[in-house]
Amino acid sequence: MAQEDRQQAPQRATLTPRAVVEGALSLADAEGLEAVTIRRLAKELGVTPMALYWHFRSKDELLDGMAARIFEEIDLSVDASATWQEQMRALLASMVGVLRAHPSTAILLSTRTASSEGSLRATEVALDILRRGGFSPTEATQIARHALSTVTNLVSGEPGVVVREQSRELIDARRRARLFLESLPLERYPRLVEAATPLSEGVHPDTYFAFGLDLLLAGIEAMALRKRQSRDRSLGDENTKLKPRIPSNR
């Protein structure tokens, strides 16, 4: 036992928590999150599993560390001269860009406990932007939660229509899909028939993510507009009630 401790001492001295997390992220990026186990990561780093347990007591702690590292990459700077909508777009666009670099681990941001400095700062910035957009603390919280979940699923759940390489087999498969849709009974599926080409075409990754971000932000902005309109109507009703009546000169 004493000999084993002496063998592990140099490993603990040279291995840092950040190095472990970086190694875990690299492994996940290459082979998927399911490939990240303590034993496999130790092998990749050239250490014993016990050397990793010195820094992370469990795989759960390691996953928390990976999520925290991803949060650190998000640009949290806010342009004070921009509108709150533009600030929110910049924040979410940065988040999408970071997650696209780590698609296998993107889901960690919405499933792990947000307690690291990076995650706390990201949440603070998002809530502050939304509060300045006119949302209450409760509304801002709900929007921030759904925005994070939407963005992480947008990246981790990237559909097959996103095209990265146009192989001959893929081109033929899409052509067959288009012909099938075009052959459907027009009287029963008029919209499918007219959309046969876009439904069977591939989508460039940049186009896919930009549209998803636009859709999310449009929903947030629509909620803000509806809230302002409701508030304006309420103020108008109050002003009408308070307006003094001018007696008639009959």
Domain ranges of the chain: 8-57, 71-160+203-230, 168-200
Within the chain, what is the greatest distance between any pair of CA atoms?
A: 109
Element (H, E) at 142: helix 137-156
Supply the pTM of this predicted model.
Answer: 0.81
Q: Pick from 108-117, 134-143, 161-170 the range whose average pLDDT is largest.
A: 134-143
Q: What are phi and psi of 246, to 5 degrees?
A: -95, 120
**How far apart (Å, rounded) are the C-alpha atoms in residues 221 and 218?**
5
Q: pLDDT confidence of 112, banded at 50, 70, 90?
A: confident
For the packed helices 59-73 and 84-101, what is the interaxial angle rounded to 10 degrees?
130
pLDDT above 60 for 11: no
Q: Which two tokens stand for residue 162?
A: 């996103």
**C-alpha angle with apex 121: 126 to 127, nearest 5 degrees?**
20
**How far apart (Å, rounded) are the C-alpha atoms in residues 141 and 177?**
42
**How far apart (Å, rounded) are the C-alpha atoms in residues 61 and 43?**
19
User: Could you give the C-alpha distances from 43 to 3, 18, 40, in angstroms and in order?
Assistant: 20, 17, 5
Q: pLDDT confidence of 133, banded at 50, 70, 90?
A: very high
- Extended strands (E) in 55-200: none
| Three-class secondary structure of residue 143 per DSSP | helix
Residue that is written with structure tokens 């849709």 in the block: 181
**How far apart (Å, rounded) are the C-alpha atoms in residues 33 and 63?**
9
| Three-class secondary structure of residue 162 per DSSP | strand
pLDDT above 80 for 161: no
Of all residues in the chain, the percent with pLDDT exceeding 90 is 70
Q: pLDDT confidence of 243, banded at 50, 70, 90?
A: low
CATH code for the domain defined by 71-160+203-230 = 1.10.357.10
Amino acid at 247: P
Residue that is written with structure tokens 């988040």 in the block: 95
Residue that is written with structure tokens 């629509």 in the block: 222
Q: Are 147 and 216 in contact (CB under 8 A)?
A: yes
Higher-scoring residue by pLDDT: 93, 237: 93
Amino acid at 67: A
Q: pLDDT confidence of 232, banded at 50, 70, 90?
A: confident
Evaluate whether 8-57 and 71-160+203-230 have a shared fold: no
Out of 3.40.50.720, 3.30.230.10, 1.10.260.40, 1.10.10.60, select the CATH number for domain 8-57. Answer: 1.10.10.60
129: which residues sit within 8 A by CB, 6+ positions away?
Answer: 78, 84, 87, 88, 91
- What sign does the CA torsion over 146, 151, 153, 159 have? positive
